[in-house]
Structure 1
Amino acid sequence: MALSSMTGFARSHGGSGAHAFEWELKSVNAKGFDFRLRLPPGFDEIEQVLRKRAAERLIRGTVYANLTVTRSGPTGDVRVNEDVLTAMLRIATDLAKRTGAAPPTVDGLLALKGVIEIVEPEASEAESEAARAAVVAAFDTALSSLVEMRKNEGATLGAVLGQRLDEIEAMARQADAAPGRRPEAVRARLAEQIQVLIETSERFDADRLSQEAVMIAARADIREELDRIASHVAQAREMLAKGGAVGRRLDFLAQEFNREVNTTCSKSNDIELTRIGLAMKNVVEQFREQVQNLE
């Protein structure tokens, strides 16, 4: 399966009878799947169908779907709401008498909300059904375009993430081969720390010295962290190759990367190892940021 990004944009147009319509779909990053749909009056019946089709093809991301419909053909009838006009006229005349204001004018009354009504010509049930079917078909077209765009961006993200993994792996090899990890370097640092311990202790305790030496040696060894980093790199490459909705799992793996690199930096008492660890931490952060865009 291909990787997919959570960001994308698509449009589609269509028409049926007197109806012309346009779909606009936009998706952005999100922890889960959220489908936000806006339909004009008269198309509420197809909402559940649209939600189901979107959920079948998208797993993560906030998707905004907006339908715009225009109607051509005969214009609607203009009618005067007699009841509203009578009530407004009575109120306006009464106020004019009480305040001495000018009596209401025709254009003023007609400008009041509710006095003028525009009644659109009613479409037959067959015409409405055909329009709804055409709208659903256009939605499928826009949805396919959105899915395709997300896959194209996913392929680009996959290549970028692969490069970051290569960099992490190369830095882990540099850390493994760093002069500060050589046995003689570790022994030298250990001897120096033991000497400081002896000089600062009032009473020499062989058992305490042995324990401290073991702890110092353990803290200086980053073999376990390097092995875990190598394992995480292998797992990440396997997920990228498999594809599909792997964004959440890769995000968890990025957190594990970060934990191991932090431990490596905290254990390091060598300038070169610290430099490599900090550089690796920067690449891991870049990896994590890109992973946030994956479905």
Structure 2
Amino acid sequence: MSVYSMTGYAAVQSNTAGSPAETDSVADTSARLGVEIRSVNSRFLDLAFRLPDELRQAEPALRELLTAKLKRGKVELRVSLDSNSASNLRAPSSVTLQRLGSLEDSIKSWLPHASALSVADVLRIATNEDNKPHDYSEELLKLSKKALKELLAAREREGARLKQMLQDRTGQLRALSALAVPMVPKLVEQQKSRFLERWKEAMALSDSATLPEIAQDRALTEATAFAIRIDVAEEITRLASHLDEIDRLLESGGELGKRLDFLIQELHREANTLGSKSASLELTRISVDMKVLIEQIREQVQNIE
């Protein structure tokens, strides 16, 4: 499966036409329907709809469409409907005109001084009588499916970029771990020699010609305690294990953002421990470099679904 980012954008438009109410209409109901979907990162799936009043009834179907394909992210779906002004005018049907004429004659028989119907009056009444609002729900759903498909493709492309970046960072962390491993034995040996030198100096001040065996044993004990205190083998092993799991998740794909977020916290903990056990400037620098890389990973993982 692919790795999907929560960041994406898609916009599609379509000209749609409705059937005229009567066969003698002079124009069809045509309009430009547009669907725009934006998504950014979020802990959960947060949907927002911006629909024209005449399309409010389509929101449940649109919500079902999005929740079937998206699992996380702050998603906004915006719909625009631009009707052509000329298409709103139709020739009144013959049935409507006959009814209006009959009603006008009936009214004038009772009210002879009543004003005659004007063309504007006829068009207004005919519009209310004949021109029923066109239902764009079907066209909107088709267009939204197309926009959603493009959004998923955009999120997949961004996810592929994030995957490559994360794998590059995990590779750098492995390289830093490899540098840290041989440093500990060297530090222990250096500290052992330092302890022995100090004991020799101390015994020289006490007019002792040779270093007693007990003094040497004490130096070795101190060196052993120091080795235990600075041993980072366990941290390096756990860090490598977390990196293996991150690489495995990236290869498997799917919904992995929350699991990656947990692993990043564990990586940060191991890097902190490595720094706290540091007994040399080089090891401290490695710990700092690790934390910088882990922070870069954490920022990008926030965008993965």
Alignment TM-score, normalising by the size of structure 2: 0.71
Q: Partner of 2:76: helix, strand, or coil?
A: strand
> What is the CA distance between 1:25 and its match in structure 2?
0.8
Give the conservation status (yes or no) of the 8 Å contact 1:180–1:272. Answer: no
Q: 1:248 to 1:211 in 2, by over 3 A?
A: farther
The alpha carbon displacement at 1:178 in A equals 2.2
Deviation at 1:71, TM superposition (A): 1.6
Q: CA deviation at 1:24?
A: 1.0
CA deviations on 1:120-156 (whole Å, 9 max, x unpaired) are: 946437x41xx21001100111111001000000001
In percent, how many aligned pairs have the same letter?
34
Alpha-carbon spacing, 1:193–1:272, altered in 2? closer, same or farther (3 Å): farther
Q: How many residues align?
A: 239
Superposed displacement of residue 67, structure 1: 0.4
- Asked if 1:229 is matched to 2:233, the reply is no
Q: Which residue of 2 aligns with 1:267?
A: 277
Where do 5+ consecutive residues of structure 1 fail to align? 77-117, 196-208
Distance 1:155 1:216 in 2: 45
Task: Describe the shift of the 1:35–1:119 C-alpha distance in structure 2 as closer, same or farther (beyond 3 A).
Answer: farther
The reply to whether residue 21 of structure 1 matches residue 39 of structure 2 is no
The 3 A distance-change label for structure 1 pair 156 and 217 is: same
Give 1:219 shift.
Answer: 2.0
Residue 269 of structure 1 deviates from its aligned partner by 1.1
**What amino acid is the match of 1:280?**
M
Is the contact made by 1:186 and 1:220 (CA closer than 8 Å) also made in structure 2? no
Shift of 1:19: 2.6
Task: State the AA in 2 paired with 1:57.
Answer: K
Question: Which one-letter code corresponds to 2:2 in the other structure?
Answer: A
For 1:62 and 1:193, locate their aligned partners in 2 and report how far apart those are by CA, in whole Å. Answer: 64
1:35 to 33, 47, 51: 47
Alpha-carbon deviation of 1:119? 9.5
Matched, 1:142 2:128: no
Contact persistence 1:10–1:146 (CA under 8 A): yes
* Residues 238 and 194 of structure 1: CA distance in aligned 2, closer, same or farther (over 3 Å): farther
Which of 60, 64, 69 in structure 2 is aligned with 1:52?
64
Contact 2:37–2:147 (Cα < 8 Å) also in 1? yes
Please state how far the C-alpha of 1:180 moved relative to its aligned partner. Answer: 6.0
2:53 aligned partner, one-letter code: P
Distance 1:75 1:194, change over 3 A: farther
Superposed displacement of residue 279, structure 1: 1.1
Compute the RMSD of aligned alpha carbons: 2.9
* Range with bigger deviation, 139-148 or 209-218: 209-218
Which structure's CA Rg is the greater one? 2
Letter of the 1:154 partner, please give it. Answer: G
Kindly tell me: are residues 68 and 192 of structure 1, through their superposed partners in 2, closer, same or farther at Cα, counting changes over 3 Å? Answer: farther
1:158 and 1:151 mapped to 2: Cα distance? 10
Q: Give the equivalent residue in structure 1 for 2:156.
A: 151
Gap change, CA 1:132 and 1:191, over 3 Å in 2: farther
Name the amino acid aligned to 2:153.
E
Q: Are residues 1:288 and 2:298 paired?
A: yes
8 Å contact kept, 2:44–2:73? yes
Q: CA deviation at 1:264?
A: 0.2
C-alpha deviation, 1:277, in angstroms: 1.2
Measured in 2, the distance between the counterparts of 1:223 and 1:120 equals: 86
SS in 1 for 2:88: coil
Q: Is the 8 A contact 1:180 1:186 kept in 2?
A: no
Residue type at the aligned position of 1:11 = A
Which string of whole-angstrom CA distances, capped at 9 and with x for unpartnered residues, describes residues 90-145 of structure 1? Answer: xxxxxxxxxxxxxxxxxxxxxxxxxxxx99946437x41xx210011001111110
- Aligned equivalents of 2:39, 2:125: Cα separation in 1: 37
DSSP-derived class of the 2:4 partner: coil
> Which residue matches 2:4?
4
* Structure 1: distance between partners of 2:237 and 2:143: 52
Q: Secondary structure at the match of 2:53?
A: coil
Q: Does 1:162 align with 2:180?
A: no
Residue 12 of structure 2 contacts residue 146 of structure 2 at CA under 8 Å; is this kept in 1?
A: yes
Q: Contact 1:180–1:270 (CA<8 Å) still a contact in 2?
A: no
> What corresponds to 1:74 in structure 2?
88
